[in-house]
A and B are shown apart, each in its own frame.
Chain A
Amino acid sequence: MSWLTEAPTSRSRLGSLASFPFSLWLFAFLLSGIGLLFLHSTEPTKPEYLGQTYRQTQAIVLLGLGLIPFAWVRRRTLLGLSPWIYALSCLSLLLLPFFGVTINGARRWFALGAATIQPAEFAKPALILALAALLRDRREDSWWAGLLLPGLVLALPFGMIASQPDLGSALSLIPVYLAICFAAGASGRKILLLLLLGLLAVAALYPFLHEYQKARILVWLGLDQLSGNLGAGYHLKQSLIAVGGGGLFGQGLGQGAQNVYDYLPYRSTDFLFAVIAEETGFFGSSLFVLLYAGLSLLIFRRAAQIPDRFGRLLCVGAGAFFASHLLIHTGVCTGLLPPTGLPLPLLSYGRSSVAGAWLCMALVAHACVRGERSLAGGARA
């Protein structure tokens, strides 16, 4: 337990350079580097992918370095801005139906010249910030203050993202919300009950899902072989072939047949893990999963070391963000979850996704650098 709670020795005073989480930052760069490696592997397989590695590298360097000063933003400033940031992200989601562009039947992006921006990716750190700000001084384990009020904060972006439709991104917000609530003091039983109610709600809302979403669920349950072979199940089938075909040792970097011969769809974004699994096999993909999970665990560790409640909740939210994306993304690629499009933060191609991930990292850095001992919940708990 000590590894989780022990404070870093280098931290002499708040706001010092030494308190910046360089190790996490380097870890994030390492994962981004792995991502670039596999983006490079997918690049020659399709004309549309050409230049992705370069653009992604640009985004990583720019954001990874450019967001470092964010750690020294004054706490009060950030707290003051958090409702506005949340409102801005909700507004951007709200404007999507009117000004967004439709790609593959979904309206998830704003077009800025040749580039596109996906507001849902920015809504994720905004939600973390909003939830942390909301729960930083609410300690009572009540339904309203501990779960329902934060639930309302979640509901707005959740609903708007789900209606784009982007159910994957929307669902990835739930673990973040639950983790922050739990870390803020909500009882485990209540959370389990909420989860159960959520499952029942999903069953009740099933008839209102889009047809393709229903088809994906049926295919995942193995109830619809026809769609499983032709339409809705195509992604899942190809992903399973890629993962399974990788075997224990993989086919080698840039050698994955599903990747090279263009069978695996969205392989630079929503199915990047399938490429990793195909080309590095069980050992490589397991190592990758452990590394990625290591980032979340290290963030949790940092959270335990942070004395103030706001900073800790920010870290928990960011850790949950990375963990939930890892689990959903890999779960979809391995058939543990129904097919849904969710990129792997730091790795998948997409500048919005990269920005979202690095903003989460910036929140962690801010929590580490600008901790307020006066608000330290851990000391009093």
Chain B
Amino acid sequence: MSSAAQRLWVLAGVLVFLLLVLLGKLLYLQGFQREVFVARRENRQLAWASLPDRRGAILDRWGSVLAQDEPGYELRIDYRKFRRGHALALLLHLDHLLRRLGEAGLVSGGALRYQDGDRRFAEAAGNLLDAPASLFSNKRSWGRNIAEVLRFYAFGLVHELFRPGEKFFQKRALLLLDFKRKALKKEGGTLLDYLSEETGLDPGEFRSRILPALGTWSGELDRLARLLGSSLNLPGSPGRSGGLRRYLDALDAYFGRRARRAQQRKGGGARSRAKGSSWFSRVFAREKGARAELAALIYKRFRIEDQAFLVAREVPLDPVVALVLGKQEQLPGFLIRESLRRVRAADLPWLGLVRERSSTGEAPQVLLAYEGGKLDEDPFDRDKINFSDPEWLEWKRLQRLRALRRRRVGVDGLERSLEPWLTGLPGKRRVVRDRFGKERNQRGLLREVPGQDVRLSLDLRLQGLAQEALQGALRGRKRTLPPSQRAALALLDARSGEILAMAWIPEKVGGRRDLKNTAAQIWHYALLGSTVKPLLAYEALLQEGLARGEGLAPCTGSWKPAGDRRIHCDGVHGSLQYPGVLPFSIAHSCNVYFAQVGDRLGLAGVARALARFGLWQLGTSYRSPPGLLVDPAGPVPRPRARGPHGAPKPTAGSFGSLYIPRSAARRAIGYGMEAPPLAVARAYAGLALGRLPGLRFLLRVGDRDLPGLPSKELGLDPQLLVQIQKGLAGAVGPGGTAFRSGVGRLGAVGKTGTAEISRRYNNAWFSGYFPAGEPRWAFSCVFFGVPHGVHGGDQPASTLRIFLEACRKDPVLRARYPFLGEPK
């Protein structure tokens, strides 16, 4: 073999050897490490996209919509893109980084914030141009990585602010990486010198363009801020809200905190990584100490900011979409996503449909998201996480679900209480995203399960009229209203127990109705006063002689029971010993008569009398409308510090011993007796028909009819019952306590009640049924905390009259309820 051939053989041998090395590496990568690389690929490319579930609609008995989901849009922010593309963000982060490095920062005083004015940002930009160019050199002690980040911010900013031309654009990539050019070598050269040299722009031109350029960026941000309003929930600060700039400050701080926490969890950044790497890494690791920690922190933060964050749910579509999509250059990172928004009947602000924590005014129409709190605590180490781990996936799903529910449901009210039926399950899609985060493909689909529609027993028209009547009554008052003025009106179908209306007006706080206060809700307790008297009357009728007043002292305006203080009556009703004394006493609300009846019956008799009408059932409470499917609890004896849901309740101490009932006589005239308006209306339905209806609130869920609770036959003697009904008719007739209101002329009958709740204020009630001859509706109207001198016959009875008159005038209601009669 020739020498030349031998040499070629050697060359071929070298090539074959290198080929074997290459094939070995290929086998290692593709044969043994495949799983690792597939996991990395999927981690980066695959993502879950949630499919919002349509929440069930809430309908009234006739199918009118109280609340339903409609397609809407939400606004999100990819903070990483924003931070790297927005001029203000670039300046702010450059300032923060310089401060962390022990440099002075770009502005005097505290660190830059998004909330700062344009002047401060302009000062920062000016100072940046005057900064020594060597600040951005790798030669500085903080190392190449941090210098690179500094250069990234500085050049990014110049790029965004001045747009210095194609030449500079082309150089940008190189400039970012390689910063050792002419101007740097000059002693004392500034960044401005460098930029002028590189771009050929006049230094003065740079300066003159700072303020207008910043103004453009700032202006677009402020335009968006104005559209979004000032009630964005601040990230990481549950319960706090603010405008967009505050939001951005909070988001920035939030990511900073999370990055620090993640780094602490990991136990030190680059140094610990170096320890875990090869000996080669340990020997040659160049960045040590604090700067390595900072570099690692920057990287950690970069990783954490990888998800789009919700800014506002249910954004006003046209202006926001137009702005965000039209101004992507000045609003980088903002994204519009399709979602569902909850639309509620606009004229029902106080039905308690949704009760957001921050709502202290009108009903919230735009619910702004992010609740923070426990949802932020990520129990998984994101650097080691296995993204196909079912435990992690489940945690993620639940986290989203919880956040979603809290946002859409509120903490109380109808939406919250109907949650089990209304809520669905969000679906999800496994999507493939390209390098720019754009969705390119779909790998899997888990369809969403929509919530079920709920049909309530309410009649939206009746509800609206009841609410208007209450509001009108409160507006029309000439006397000074106490700050806690609130009112409620419950209307039932006396036969079926279906709740037709339950209007309420919450108390005023700072001049606005406070939706947070649960005390005025229709299903909460209130002191009853004389409202209990007709309910007690049937027990009196059963006692031989009591109905005729045998052995009762005459009404001289007061009467002193044994072991209790003297009880006063509103009038002097004379002898109480005659056959018609009971209807008379109901009509005139004679305290002396009923106190003596109570005294005769004893505490057990009073309890028996009230229990007959579904009241006085200790130990049961109902919290929300579905709870009304069970028999409501009745009056409960004091002391009872707080009601359900923490509703404020008067304590014994606040009322003084005067109001603590000591005897059955005092209980018989309503002292210390509490019941919700709905329970009282139901009890009066019992008086009207001799049958206690089971309350019914939900008629239909999805495609299922929900049966109501069966009525309870009371087994009352009709002849005895007629005497009570006569008393109720007397109360609205001439001389009766509610005569002046004129409600009797419309055919309604009822009983007034005025309960002292303090030395200055009363609860004023009017409860009864309509129409008198053939009762169809039972009602109870209460004004809480009216001043002394206002009785149940005043505001409550008048309100009911106004309500009934309005019902008669409404042709739709007349068609639905023919017994309303014609308007006069």
Contacts and interface: CB of A to CB of B under 8 A. Distances in A.
A281 B177 CA distance: 35
Interface in B1-34: 1-5, 7-12, 15-16, 18-19, 21-23, 25-27, 29-31, 33-34
B173 A104 contact: yes
A286 B31 contact: no
Interface string A133-155: 00000000000000000000000
A183 B4 contact: yes
B22 A330 contact: yes
B442 to A, nearest CB: 13
Question: Which of B10, B37, B45, B435 has the most CB atoms of chain A within a 10 A radius of its CB?
Answer: B37
A262 B296 CA distance: 28
Contacts of A303: 8
A175 B572 CA distance: 124
B118 interface: no
A285 B41 contact: no
A16 interface: no
Contacts of A226: 145, 270, 295-296, 298-299
A183 B33 contact: no
A261 B8 contact: no
A246 B30 contact: yes
A297 B145 contact: no
Interface string B796-818: 00000000000000000000000
Which interface residue of B11, B23, B33, B441 has the most chain A CB atoms within 10 A?
B11
Interface string A301-323: 00110000100100010011001
Contacts of A182: 7, 10-11
Interface stretch (A53-61, A63-71, A111-119, A237-245): A237-245
A289 interface: yes
Contact of A215 (B19, B144, B170, B299): B144
B170 A188 contact: no
B178 interface: yes
Given A223-B285, A304-B5, A316-B11, A334 B25 contact: yes
Contacts of A223: 280-281, 284-286
A285 B270 contact: no
B37 A245 contact: yes
A137 B45 CA distance: 59
Nearest to A209: B178
Interface residues of A, number: 71
B216 interface: no
Contacts of B298: 226
Contact of B22 (A232, A245, A327, A377): A327
A336 B22 contact: yes
A297 B41 contact: no
Interface in A206-248: 210-212, 214-215, 221-227, 229-232, 240-241, 243-248
Contacts of A222: 277-278, 280-281
Nearest to B285: A223
Contacts of B179: 211
Given A222-B280, A223-B285, A263 B44 contact: yes
A241 B435 CA distance: 14
A341 interface: no
A118 B75 CA distance: 47
B42 to A, nearest CB: 9
Majority SS of interface residues in chain B? helix
A257 B432 contact: yes
B160 to A, nearest CB: 19
A119 to B, nearest CB: 20
Nearest to B172: A105
A193 interface: no
A177 to B, nearest CB: 13
B170 A105 contact: yes
Contacts of A230: 299, 302
A335 interface: yes
Contacts of A210: 177-178
A279 to B, nearest CB: 12
A83 interface: no
B302 to A, nearest CB: 7
B22 A323 contact: no
A182 B41 CA distance: 44
Interface string A261-272: 111000000000
A330 B26 CA distance: 9
A4 interface: yes
Contact of B9 (A1, A105, A334): A1
B29 A381 contact: no
Given A297-B15, A300-B12, A378 B34 contact: no
Nearest to B37: A244
A215 B177 contact: yes
Interface in B36-73: 36-38, 40-41, 44-45
A262 B435 CA distance: 6
Contacts of A262: 434-436
A293 interface: yes
B440 interface: yes
A4 B281 CA distance: 45
A316 B8 contact: yes
Contacts of A225: 270, 273, 299
Interface string B141-158: 000110010000000000
29 contacts: A1-B5, A4-B5, A5-B1, A102-B171, A182-B11, A210-B177, A214-B144, A222-B278, A223-B281, A225-B270, A243-B26, A244-B38, A245-B40, A247-B30, A247-B31, A248-B30, A257-B45, A258-B41, A261-B435, A286-B26, A297-B12, A300-B11, A316-B11, A319-B11, A320-B11, A330-B22, A379-B2, A381-B3, A381-B4
Interface of A: 1, 4-5, 102-105, 179, 182-183, 185, 188, 210-212, 214-215, 221-227, 229-232, 240-241, 243-248, 257-258, 260-263, 277, 281-282, 285-286, 289-290, 293, 296-297, 300, 303-304, 309, 312, 316, 319-320, 323, 327, 330-331, 334-336, 377-379, 381
Interface of B: 1-5, 7-12, 15-16, 18-19, 21-23, 25-27, 29-31, 33-34, 36-38, 40-41, 44-45, 138, 144-145, 148, 170-171, 173-174, 177-180, 270, 273, 277-278, 280-281, 284-286, 295-296, 298-299, 302, 432-436, 440-441
A-B pairs, 8 with minimum CB distance: A244-B37, A105-B174, A282-B30, A212-B177, A381-B3, A261-B434, A244-B29, A247-B34
